[in-house]
Amino acid sequence: MQSLSLRLTAIVFVLLQLNLAVDDGTLYQERGREMPTYIFLCKFTAEGIKGVKEGPQRRQRAREVIEQLGGRAIGNWLTQGQYDVVWVAEFPDESSASAFALGTGMAGRLTTETLRAYTPEETEAIFAKLPG
């Protein structure tokens, strides 16, 4: 289990570091807006893998849905290993991120596991609340 945790931590770190490479180079924080970041670890369903060549259209539709929910897609990647696709996106709130994950599942092509990614500043605030 520790091995999986270390792999996921490495994935999250790498994907968040790629932010400037796939974004326009301006983070939301620099624009005066800060939204929570979410990581969606996805696996193809049997139906999803059959239409895998529709990937570009699916990615575009997902980006549109993210924007309709008030979010911003940071990037997405086809991956090898336990997960087939990884999305990283910012959303204004948990309900918007959850709506994206549930809507993705309802489409029947992917199953998702959602992770909330904390910035270093958010992490420091969490640690400050710990006892001792």
Question: What is the rounded distance in angstroms from the CA atom of residue 49 to the CA atom of residue 110?
Answer: 9
Could you tell me the two tokens for 67?
């924007």
Reported as a single tens digit per residue, the pLDDT across 10-39 is: 555 555 554 434 444 344 444 455 899 999
Residue 77 sits in a domain whose CATH number is 3.30.70.920
- Number of domains composing the chain: 1
Q: Examine the pLDDT at 70 and tell me if it is beyond 80.
A: yes
The pTM of this model reads 0.77
- Residue corresponding to tokens 């001792």: 132
Q: How many Å apart are CA 115 and CA 97, to the nearest integer?
A: 10
Q: How far apart are CA 122 and CA 128, in angstroms?
A: 10
Asked whether the predicted pLDDT for residue 85 surpasses 80, the reply is yes
Q: Tens of pLDDT along 92-132?
A: 999 999 999 999 999 999 999 999 999 999 999 999 999 98
Which domain, by its residues, includes 24? 2-128
How do strand 85-90 and strand 72-78 relate by DSSP bridges?
Answer: antiparallel
d(CA 34, CA 94): 14
